[in-house]
């Protein structure tokens, strides 16, 4: 894998540009000439698709001009820049009278999507001012950038936003534009955003808790605000978030996303979008662990977007190339995050997370082996899914508690009113009905760290007897199941009952072992239990009252011979 250097980033940028340019509309008679045609839409993309194409062409040109000794892939910088000019001419034709653009899959006349574009383009204008004798192509390109940014920045001042991260993108875009062009009236709007305060908690989580997607967005925007607007609190917030994310990393460079409120929830990805911030702040802070994190994410990435490559190019051009770091990243710890209800454990290859507040209570990984989740449910009045409303952390353990009172009138039975109830009044009269109360299905799950894994103890603490219970352990597809003399390769959506003894899910040399089994019933898809069609599910089944201890162990060992 290539090292994290400007040369390696520009080479990959060129490769990505070549792929994107194949989708650039050509032909003088086309109204979308210069646009990136998004394949999944069959439409021109006036947002980041075309903007990232233009920015990529610009960064390739800047790298060639500012670093003339840099070994570049065979290419025509002037020809690439012309494609960037075509893209910006399209962006200007599409730009609305308001100065804003559209995200055509969702948002129209959109402030946030315009801000993402402005934020990406402004560093090109700033760096272009370093060119002592810009050629005619760059002069034309920068004039187009300026025209777009000026009109967009004015529109952003009263455009509004949707999500927490949008605020920092909006403020960052206006701050960069205002730094470039002092006559833009953006100061009041920026101050109104910054007055809200940064949405980072004492543990380093932003509101969206999105390490593989929107942490990277927040971090780059806040770093730009710190640099261009003197907003030093932004740099402090980024530092806190990056320190947290070091402890969310798994051994393979992917990151824990079990708490995310956004689309990256549950995804197993290398968060290369964090690399530009790790690199930039690592150089500024002289932090070998941050620099090593950036290098590791680059080395282990599976896919890097054109946008992220632009941000990496910007960081390396602006900050220089740091020497390769051999600093150790955190891989031997047990940390409770009580504000967010998370317990993180790393012991080398072993990586475990225990969660409060959701259906998924736990995840466990060891090398290639991955148990994506553990869920518990009772078949009980539609409110039997165990959700840990509280967690009680202690040294080496945590207790999750579910009160069983998610619905105000369940468990229980409604009683008749003794008067006529018309069709149109059925829901209205519900609040007036008396009802027969049934005890809630309260329960607890105790999780303790043990050598090589976890010991767990599930107990019901209230509710009726003889209620079906299941403990569902969900595994990533691709493993081999070994139990009680049988070995087979289960497929996604398959359900396995471990009725007794020991079961092992093996991925190559890595294995996660479950014991003991439990087989009080054989309900394949139990009512009230959330299904997992993308996983292989192993079930331990009980009846209430339940008092059941079991263990999870992870190791690397031989394929056969247990």
Domains of the chain by start residue, with CATH: 6-319 (1.50.10.10), 332-405+440-556 (2.70.98.10)
Predicted pLDDT at 560 = 52
Q: What is the mean pLDDT of residues 277-300?
A: 96
> Among 290, 291, 300, which Cα is nearest to 322's?
291
- With a pLDDT cut of 70, the percent of the chain lying above it is 99
- The CA angle 52-58-59, to the nearest 5 degrees, is 90
* Residue 461 pLDDT > 90: yes
pLDDT band at 485 (very low <50, low <70, confident <90, very high): confident
- Measured in residues, the chain has a length of 562
Concatenated DSSP letters for 344-356? EEEETTEEEEEES
Residue (of 148, 135, 143) closest to 51 by Cα position: 148
Residue % of the chain over a pLDDT of 90: 90
Give 410's pLDDT tier (boundaries 50, 70, 90): confident
Task: Name the DSSP letter for residue 97.
Answer: T
DSSP letter for each residue of 62-91? HHHHH-TTS---S--HHHHHHHHHHHHHHH
**pLDDT number for residue 303:** 86
SS3 216: helix
DSSP letters for 450-485 = ETTEEEEEEEE-SS-SS-EEEEEEEE-TT-EEEETT
Per-residue pLDDT averaged across 415-424, rounded?
Answer: 93
pLDDT given for residue 557 in this prediction: 87
Reported as a pLDDT band with limits 50, 70 and 90, residue 558 is confident
Which residues, including other chains, have CB under 8 Å from residue 447's CB and lie 6 or more apart?
Answer: 343, 354, 362, 397, 398, 399, 400, 454, 455, 456
The CA-to-CA distance between both ends of the chain, in Å, stands at 36
Does residue 387 contact residue 437 with C-beta atoms inside 8 Å?
no
Work out the number of other CB atoms within 10 angstroms of the CB of residue 253.
Answer: 19
Q: What is the pLDDT of residues 231-263, one digit of tens each?
A: 999 999 999 999 999 999 999 999 999 999 998
Q: And the tokens for 100?
A: 């804003």
Token pair recorded at residue 137: 């192509």
pLDDT in tens, 133-188: 889 999 999 999 999 999 999 999 999 999 999 999 999 999 999 999 999 999 99
340-362 pLDDT per residue, tens:
999 999 999 999 999 999 999 99
């Amino acid at each position: 894998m290539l090292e994290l250097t400007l040369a390696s980033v520009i080479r990959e940028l060129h490769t990505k540009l070549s792929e994107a340019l194949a989708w650039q509309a050509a032909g003088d008679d086309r109204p979308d000439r210069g646009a990136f045609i998004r394949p999944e839409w069959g439409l021109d993309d006036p947002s980041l698709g075309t903007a990232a194409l233009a920015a990529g062409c610009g960064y390739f040109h800047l790298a060639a001009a500012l670093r003339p000794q840099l070994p570049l892939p065979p290419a025509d910088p002037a020809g690439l820049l012309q494609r960037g000019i075509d893209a910006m001419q399209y962006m200007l034709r599409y730009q609305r009278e308001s100065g804003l653009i559209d995200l055509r899959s969702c948002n129209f006349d959109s402030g946030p999507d315009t801000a993402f574009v402005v934020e990406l383009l402004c560093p090109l204008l700033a760096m272009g001012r370093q060119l002592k004798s810009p050629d005619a192509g760059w002069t034309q390109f920068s004039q187009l950038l300026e025209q777009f940014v000026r009109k967009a920045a004015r529109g952003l001042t009263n455009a509004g936003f949707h999500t927490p991260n949008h605020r920092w993108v909006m403020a960052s875009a206006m701050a960069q534009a205002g730094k470039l062009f002092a006559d833009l009236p953006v100061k009041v709007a920026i101050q109104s955003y910054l007055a809200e305060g940064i949405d980072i908690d004492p543990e380093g989580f932003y509101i969206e808790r999105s390490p593989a997607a929107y942490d990277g967005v927040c971090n780059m925007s806040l770093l730009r605000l710190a640099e261009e607007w003197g907003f030093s609190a932004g740099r402090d917030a980024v530092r806190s978030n990056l320190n947290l994310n070091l402890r969310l990393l798994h051994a393979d460079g992917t990151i824990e996303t079990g708490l995310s409120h956004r689309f990256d929830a549950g995804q197993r990805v290398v968060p290369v979008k964090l690399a530009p911030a790790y690199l930039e702040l690592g150089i500024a802070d002289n932090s070998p662990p941050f620099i090593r994190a950036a290098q590791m994410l680059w080395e282990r990435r599976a896919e890097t977007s054109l946008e992220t490559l632009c941000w990496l190019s910007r960081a390396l051009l602006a900050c220089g190339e740091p020497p390769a770091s051999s600093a150790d990243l955190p891989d031997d710890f047990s940390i409770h995050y009580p504000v967010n209800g998370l317990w993180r454990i790393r012991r080398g290859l072993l990586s475990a997370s225990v969660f409060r507040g959701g259906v998924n209570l736990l995840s466990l990984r060891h090398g290639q082996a991955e148990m994506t989740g553990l869920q518990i449910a009772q078949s009980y009045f539609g409110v039997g899914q165990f959700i840990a409303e509280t967690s009680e952390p202690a040294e080496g353990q945590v207790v999750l508690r579910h009160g069983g009172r998610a619905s105000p009138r369940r468990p229980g039975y409604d009683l008749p009113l003794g008067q006529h109830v018309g069709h149109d009044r059925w829901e209205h009269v519900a609040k007036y009905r008396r009802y027969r109360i049934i005890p809630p299905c309260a329960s607890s799950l105790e999780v303790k760290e043990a050598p090589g894994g976890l010991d767990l103890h599930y107990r019901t603490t209230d509710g009726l007897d003889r209620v079906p219970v299941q403990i569902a352990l969900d595994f990533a597809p691709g493993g081999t199941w070994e139990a009680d003399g049988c070995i087979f390769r289960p497929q996604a959506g398959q359900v396995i009952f471990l009725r007794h003894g020991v079961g092992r899910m093996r991925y190559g040399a890595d294995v996660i072992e479950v014991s003991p089994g439990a087989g009080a019933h054989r309900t394949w898809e139990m009512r009230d239990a959330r299904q997992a069609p993308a996983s292989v599910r192993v079930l331990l089944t009980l009846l209430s009252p339940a008092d059941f201890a079991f263990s999870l162990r992870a190791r690397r060992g031989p394929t056969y011979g247990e």
